[in-house]
Amino acid sequence: MITFATTKTPMFEFENKKTTCPDCKDKSCAAAILSREELEMINFNSHESVVKKGEIILHEGSLTSHIIYLKSGLAKEFVKPTPESEQILSIVKEHTYLGLSSLFGDRINHYSYSALEDVKVCYIDIAVFINLVRKNGNFAYEILVSVSRDSLNNFHRFINQLHKKIYGRVADGILYFSRIIYENTTFSLPMSRQEFADLIGVSRESATRVLIKFKDEGIINIKGHLIEINKVELLEQISRKG
C-alpha cells in the first residue's frame, strides 16, 4: 500500500474531510467510474484544503509531486512571460484536475494556477493516480478525454483570438464567461479588468474602453463586476466579424 505524507504550507488552510472520497458528491467524471476500493485508495492518499482568493495553487516551474483536483470554485491558468506581465490561458472550473498536461511529460509544471475565489482542492498522491491510469482503462479514457477537450478548446480560442481586433476579442471574452464558465447571460466577472485584458490579449485601457462602448450602445449592462448581456446576437456578430 502506498502511503501519503502531508506537508503543511502556510498559504493553505487544511481541514478534516467532511466526506470520504467514496461518498463525495463532487467527483470528476473519471473518479465517478472508479470502484469503492479504488476510491478508498485515493481517500487514504489524499488531502483536502482551502485556498483563498488570489493565492497560488500551483507554481509554474515546480515539479509535479501531486495531482491537484479543483473540487469547488474557479481558478485561472496562466504563465508569466516576464516578471511584469501575465498571460492568462484559461479559466478553470470546478471538478477539474490541474496540470495534467505535465503529468506524463517532463514532470515539470509549465503553467501556474491561482484561485479567482476561495476554492477547495484535493491533493492526490501522484503514484496512486498513475497506478489508476495504468490499471483502469475507463478511468484513463476519461482523463484523456478531459485533457484533449481542454487542449482543443484553448487551441481554437487562441487561433480565433489571433485574427481578431479589439472589439472581437472583448466580445469573445464576454461570451466565453457567459457560455463556457457560467452558462448564463448574467454573471459576475471573477477578475479585475487587467486580468480580463490578459485573458483576451489586449491592454487594460483598450478592454475598458470597449466595455464602456458596449455599455453605451446597450449591448451589455455593467455594474461593478456584474455583467448582463442585453443583445446576445449583436455580441455574437461582433465576435464573428472580429
What does the pLDDT look like over 150-165, one tens digit per residue?
Answer: 888 877 777 777 788 9
Give domain 12-159's CATH architecture: Sandwich (2.60)
The model's pLDDT over 131-145, given as tens digits with 9 standing for 90+, comes to 999 999 999 999 989
**So what's the pLDDT on residue 11?**
45
Least confident of 41-55, 83-97, 218-232: 83-97
- pLDDT category, 53, cuts 50, 70, 90? very high
242 or 76, higher pLDDT: 76
| pLDDT at site 188 | 96
Of the pLDDT bands very low, low, confident and very high (cuts 50, 70, 90), residue 2 is very low
CATH number of 164-241: 1.10.10.10
Whole-prediction pTM: 0.83
Looking at the chain, which residues constitute the CATH 2.60.120.10 domain(s)?
12-159
Whether residue 104 contacts residue 37, with contact meaning beta carbons closer than 8 Å, is answered with no
Instruction: Cite the residue boundaries of each domain of the chain with CATH code 1.10.10.10.
Output: 164-241
44, 79, 40, 37: which is closest to 59 by C-alpha?
A: 79
Give burial (CB, 10 Å; 0-12/13-18/19+) of 237: exposed
